Structure 1
Amino acid sequence: MDFAAANRGAFVILLVAAMMGASWLTGSMVIPDRLPTRPVIVTPEDDPAAPFPTGNVENGAILANAICSRCHSFTPSAQDTAGPSLFGVYGRPTGRQPGYTYSSSLVSLGGQWDEARLNAWLRNPAAFSPGTRMSFRGLPDINGRADIIAWLKTLH
């Protein structure tokens, strides 16, 4: 292959790339992107009118021990570890456990841990309280969250 043939090949590749870019730019100007006004698929988490499922206490105990026990304890006399003890967390003021230092973002929320707050927390702790120190990414399964919450309600 001589230099002239290589030069023509490079020119063709450059021309095709320029034509593709121009067609993309023209298309994006002619047909604007519009997001739908509401989600196309509504999941139970996105539908505030959907009732919260009834949790299974036994499944909640299994899930909590598998997921939460790395950082939390569940007994009344246990020492706080990386996270506070979850014994009696349902109904406890948010960010208030004697002897445990919470992140300022969680302390500033106020209120109490109820079903709705625990659900939002377990779904995505970082979205519920930006700046939280909790490293758990969240539990996307609403039934799993309902099971854990049902079990936490029994810890009194």
Structure 2
Amino acid sequence: MNRIATAILITCVAVATAWLCGSWTIPYAPPPRPAFDIPEKTDGDALPRPISVAHGAILATRICSTCHELLPDGHDAVGPALAGVIGRGVASRAGYSYSAALSAHRGETWDDARLGEWLSNPFAFAPGTRMSLSGVPDPNDRADIIAWLKTLHPAPTP
């Protein structure tokens, strides 16, 4: 036991001595400038890149199609069909049973701003919603999805 204790003590002293010598030899100093700049986010609504409908189609297919039908003649699945959602009333698709949280928004219309708010955080938009998506955090991705929905599935003209 004495040998083991001595070995542990010698190891601790050696590590502490090496650390002290190293810190005296090369003192810590923050770099004069950062290795790369992290841009500050000043405006949450600013889109740093152009809107891409093609990227929106990829995102919508990957994210939305698990629960929603995306075809123009699509039927309701776990969620309501998204064909023609732009310009349609919130919670207004006939035959689909909406949650009470989303039904409270009846009378509103799905436009760019409202869809952006919904896609950002469905639970903040309608607390108690049954939608399982936690949100699309990137404003560029939300804009791409909305642009794709607008061009591929335009709302019916009155």
Tell me which structure has the larger Cα radius of gyration.
Answer: 2
Partner of 2:132: 135
1:73 to 69, 83, 101: 69
Structure 1 consecutive aligned stretches of length 4 or more whose deviation exceeds 2 Å: 41-45, 50-55
| C-alpha RMSD of the superposition | 1.9
Aligned to 2:101: 105
The 2-side partners of 1:132 and 1:103 are apart by 6
Which deviations, in whole Å up to 9, do the C-alpha atoms of 1:18-52 show, x marking residues without a partner? xxxxxxxxxxxxxxxxxxxxxxx65533x6xx579
Q: Which of 142, 146, 153 in structure 2 is aligned with 1:145? A: 142
Gaps of 5+ in 2: 1-39
Q: CA deviation at 1:104?
A: 1.2
- Equivalent of 2:53 in 50, 53, 57: 57
Structure 1, residues 42-101: CA drift from partner, whole Å, max 9, x if none?
5533x6xx5797521110000000110000011122211000000000010001101111
- Gaps spanning 5+ residues in structure 1: where? 1-40
Identity of aligned residues (%): 53
* Aligned pairs, number: 113
TM-score by length of 2: 0.66
Q: Does residue 1:93 correspond to 2:89, yes or no?
A: yes
Q: Secondary structure at the match of 1:90?
A: coil
TM-score, length of structure 1 as denominator length: 0.67
**Alpha-carbon distance between aligned partners in 1 of 2:127 and 2:48, rounded to the nearest angstrom:** 24
Read off the aligned partner of 2:43 and give its amino acid letter: P
